[in-house]
Amino acid sequence: MTERAGTGTGPGAGTGAGGAAPEAGAVARHQGLSSAEVAQRIAAGEVNDVPVRSSRSTAEIVRANVFTRFNAIIGVLFLVILVVGPIQDGLFGFVIVANTAIGIFQELRAKRTLDSLAVIGEARPEVRRDGATTEISTSQIVLGDLIELGPGDKVVVDGEVEEADSLEIDESLLTGEADPVVKRAGDPVMSGSFVVAGGGAFTATKVGRQAYAAQLADEASRFTLVDSELRNGISQILKYVIWMMVPTTIGLIVSQFTVESHHPREAFRRTIGGIVPMVPEGLVLLTSVAFAIGVVRLGRKQCLVQELPAIEGLARVDVVCLDKTGTLTEGGMDVTDLRLLGGGDQAYAARALAALGGAEPHPNASLQAVIAAYPPGGAAGWRATGTLPFSSARKYSGAAFTEPDGTDSTWLLGAPDVLLPDGHAALGDIDRLNDEGLRVLLLARTGRPLDDPQVAASVEPLALVVLEQRLRPDAADTLRYFADQDVHAKVISGDNAVSVGAVAGKLGLPGAEDPVDARQLPPERDAMAVVLERGAVFGRVTPQQKRDMVGALQSRGHNVAMTGDGVNDVLALKDADIGVAMGSGSEATRAVAQIVLLDNSFATLPSVVAEGRRVIGNITRVATLFLTKTVFSVLLAVLVVCWQVPYPFLPRHLTLLSSLTIGVPAFFLALAPNKERARPHFVRRVMRYSTPAGILCGAAAFVAYLLARHHYTGAGALAAETSAATLTLFLMEVWVLAIVARPYTWWRVGLVLAMGVGFVIVLVTPWLQSFFALRLVGTEVPWSAVGIAAVGAVALEVSWAWVRRWDEATP
């Protein structure tokens, strides 16, 4: 059975505080709707038929890829070329069509992956129909259904409580108030809240789009391409491009129609040849494709990315906060020993444990281990008269019984260091057990009623229950990966700090030998942050403290990821930069997390980090290529206007160069492995590299063009001039590609060489020469063009080295 109630120490989990009045004996069991009533409501359309929306619709994907600002610009220019020029000058239009088709295909592929994974991870509430409990999907709930609740369950539709057994519900996602609310019969419950303690059942009063859950689910599982530094940075770059395009385009149009006043068709072609390369048309597409393929890759590893920028976000993380239970350890535990305190009766202690196990309707891993060792059948004649569910704030649970001899007794089971006074003799033995990585619960009697806020004061300890936790086999390798990647792991748990430290130490976590008891943490954020940065293991952490710890780390400039599977993790998951939930965890954690590990494998996290780093690092590379082209295109337009000469290139020339030095290689580079740690200020970093590279490329091409204009005369002069300039520009661009492709691997070297071979094939193949209007005349100018490119390549290397040093010296 999966732990449904969180990850704290003791039987159950949650964030409740304070005692709750015993209600177990007074709860009347409702039968729920009959099959006939369910059919009647389905026929009336009173069904919770809100579709699972894990991604954009097909229509939205097509619209987002087709109807873009740059597609509109390119489309108009393409139509002009179809009228005035040969079809080869309109090749850029077909490239845009192909790119758009690729983008649509990849996003549709990602959509299918997300939709299928969302169905796997969808909440499946339990409803009572015809007196029997049945698990159904949320879309099958009908108005009036009786829905059962247990610790960790999310309230999926609005309703009214019918049964309450010490039911406490956290409504912080709706109200912002972190304290749980005790619910009794007749109280309303709102979808989007979740159970932190106790159990019960409620009747659905609002379903479908009337319920708040419809909005929450829509937002929690939406496939988004926004709210990330990468996407926002690209949008900012595109704004800069538009601002530069408007004046340079106007100047270029006036210039070309003045210079080519007797050849309007040639003026059109030259003008369009200058405008088209200013548009980084493939940059947005390639970013979307890289993200989409990342989703597909992670989907194959049973990782549901509920918000696409989470791939990027986790790559920027430098601190990952891990909950011990369910993350470093498996959910199951085994009772290894029952140690009596004060000469008690072992058989009596065993019966008390059996009774506590039988009284808890929603046992978690700790209590399941106790139940496995001491089945409820061993407490024959013990009658429960009240229960107190476990909460992470209390660190204990309890129950009141009438024993077979008529004696009334009240028992508590929970954290020894919370229930025992400081200096108690048993604490020494408990510390030694914790040092071995064992988990210890205290079984104690109390003379106070369960609803007394001081019920844990002056308890009579009877026995220590020693449990052994099962370590995840992949946890050590995952922690080692984070250490190698300079990501600091912080284990934050509600368990005893020494015990947590022992477990983390077995897994090789640096700093595990100095665990910190969170009860000793300073409340001030700055002081807390200092302790958090220094330590690695923190025990006895309350749910509110988890949230405060995340905030303290963020206040020191850290990007924080939080993992968890229980309701006591929800607040911290919501506040962290990236929330990662286990698929078997509570519905509430899955609802607020950006990433859900459906196979509950902590070892999947390195794959997510690696995928994010691949996306960010590679998009930074290819963005440099695209913006180098934009910069040199704007510079060439300005130089052409100033010198009042024909634009050096036809559209076909720049289509060829863009395909060989940007389009084709960028596609491969964007999907290549990349383990570089993501760094902030995407726009600034890209512009640092692309601006000098673009200036050098544009200047070299224009110098070669002016040299050719001075040398060539006659009817074929313009074609020869353009060919010489094209050769120089290609050599410069391919050198930029060679720099961007570093560090070299065999396939990167092969990619650069293949692009060079492609250009040579065009130059030596007669029909390709004619098609692309490229013909090198003589030897003096072509070799001069190569020489200019060589000087430009040296300048590129110098500028690149200088920018790299500057980049590494600044954050």
Give the pair of three-digit tokens for residue 278.
Answer: 């200013």
272: Cα separation from own chain's centroid: 41
Could you tell me where the beta strands, DSSP code E, fall in 447-597? 460-471, 488-492, 516-517, 537-539, 560-564, 578-582, 595-597
DSSP assignment of 228-270 equals: SHHHHHHHHHHHHHHHHHHHHHHHHHHHHHHHTTT-HHHHHHH
User: Are 84 and 269 a contacting pair, CB within 8 Å?
Assistant: yes
Gap between the Cα atoms of 539 and 493, Å rounded: 5
Q: Are strands 578-582 and 560-564 parallel, antiparallel or unpaired?
A: parallel
Q: Which amino acid is at 91?
A: L
- List, in sequence order, every residue forming a beta bridge with 391; answer none if it has no partner: 396
Closest CA to 594 of 21, 140, 54: 54
Run of H or E including 711: helix 682-711
Half-sphere exposure of 133 (CA within 13 A, CB side): 9
Calculate ∠ Cα 546-547-548, nearest 5°: 90
Classified as helix, coil or strand, 730 is: helix
Integer distance in angstroms from the first to the last C-alpha of the chain? 48
Catalytic residue of the set 89, 153, 170, 323: 323
Run of H or E including 329: strand 329-340
Gap between the Cα atoms of 363 and 66, Å rounded: 53
User: Are 192 and 173 a contacting pair, CB within 8 Å?
Assistant: yes
Long-range Cβ contacts of 210-214 (<8 Å, 24+ apart) = 210/158, 211/48, 211/50, 211/156, 211/157, 211/158, 212/158, 212/174, 213/50, 213/138, 213/155, 213/156, 213/157, 213/158, 214/50
User: Are 389 and 413 a contacting pair, CB within 8 Å?
Assistant: no
Gap between the Cα atoms of 540 and 523, Å rounded: 15
Gap between the Cα atoms of 575 and 573, Å rounded: 6
Calculate ∠ Cα 190-192-197, nearest 5°: 80
Place of tokens 């300048």: 795
User: Are 191 and 158 a contacting pair, CB within 8 Å?
Assistant: yes
User: Are 707 and 713 a contacting pair, CB within 8 Å?
Assistant: no
Helix-helix angle 91-121:651-658, to 10 degrees: 40
Calculate ∠ Cα 588-229-118, nearest 5°: 35
Neighbour-count burial of 414, counting CB atoms closer than 10 A to its CB (0-12 exposed, 13-18 middle, 19+ buried): buried
Gap between the Cα atoms of 124 and 154, Å rounded: 10
Task: Clarify whether 323 is annotated catalytic.
Answer: yes
Give the pair of three-digit tokens for residue 324.
Answer: 């011990």
Q: What are phi and psi of 674, to 5 degrees?
A: -160, 115
Place of tokens 């770059």: 237
DSSP assignment of 125-138 equals: -EEEETTEEEE--G
Q: Are strands 329-340 and 595-597 parallel, antiparallel or unpaired?
A: unpaired
Neighbour-count burial of 477, counting CB atoms closer than 10 A to its CB (0-12 exposed, 13-18 middle, 19+ buried): middle
Enumerate the active-site residues: 323
